[in-house]
Each structure stands twice: as C-alpha cells, then as structure tokens.
Amino acid sequence: MEKNMPYGREEPIPLAPPSYDNTQHVYPQVPVTVAPAPFVQAPQANILGGVPCMATCPSCGARRQTNVNFQPSTKTHLLALLICLIGGICCCCIPYCTDSCQSANHTCSACGAYVGTYNN
C-alpha cells in the first residue's frame, strides 16, 4: 500500500457499465401543491359595533378609528310596518330616527373604503 492514496486504494472505483438498449426510463412525476395566496378579509360583524371602533382597513392597511353611517335595513322597515299595523301611524317613523334599529356601516377614516357592517 502506498501512503499517498486515501484509505489504501490504488485504483479508482469502477462505474456501472453503460446501458446500450434504447429504452427510455419514465420517472413518476411528483405533484406540486401550491398554497393559496393569503387574502385580506373584512373584520367579522361581532368585532364591529354600533359605535366607531379601531379596525384595520382592507384597502389601505391603516389601523384607525372607523367612521359610522347608519342606514335603514329590512329590520327597520318591518318594525315601522308593525307599528303602523298596530295603530300607531303617527309613530311609524321612530325606527328611522333611532340608530339602534338601523345597520351601522363602518368606513375607513383615512381612505373612505368600506370596512364592514354591524346589523343590530
């Protein structure tokens, strides 16, 4: 054995003999799964309330206090109809004057984008 050869080997390790047939080897393809891109979701209705609150805008990403605009909903119209049917025709406008009978639409105070709605 020579001292210059690693591990006492004097000749190289032979490689596998080449294949002389014309067959093509087909290797199975591994399916690649791509995770869906994250998306920005509006805050849930239980986070928003009937008053301005802190929320992150889905449009501009700013975390600020929201502006609240009240709009009549189906509940508002049905309550006014019920008051009218009971006999209080002069009181049927009360649900349109109270904020608790209307839906609260929250918008971003920075860019004005829609953030969410709180239905009473």
Tokens of 73: 């909903």
With beta carbons less than 8 A apart as the criterion, state whether 49 and 118 touch: yes
Range(s) of the domain holding residue 117 = 48-120
Domain annotation covers residue 56: yes
Asked if residue 72 belongs to a domain, the reply is yes
- 40, 58 Cβ separation under 8 angstroms: yes
In a domain, 22, yes or no: no
Domains contained in the chain, number:
1
Report the alpha-carbon distance of residue 62 to residue 109 in Å, rounded: 9
Query: Does the pLDDT value for residue 62 go beyond 60?
Result: yes
> 66: buried, middle or exposed (CB in 10 Å: 19+, 13-18, 0-12)?
buried
pTM score, two decimals? 0.57
* pLDDT on residue 46: 42
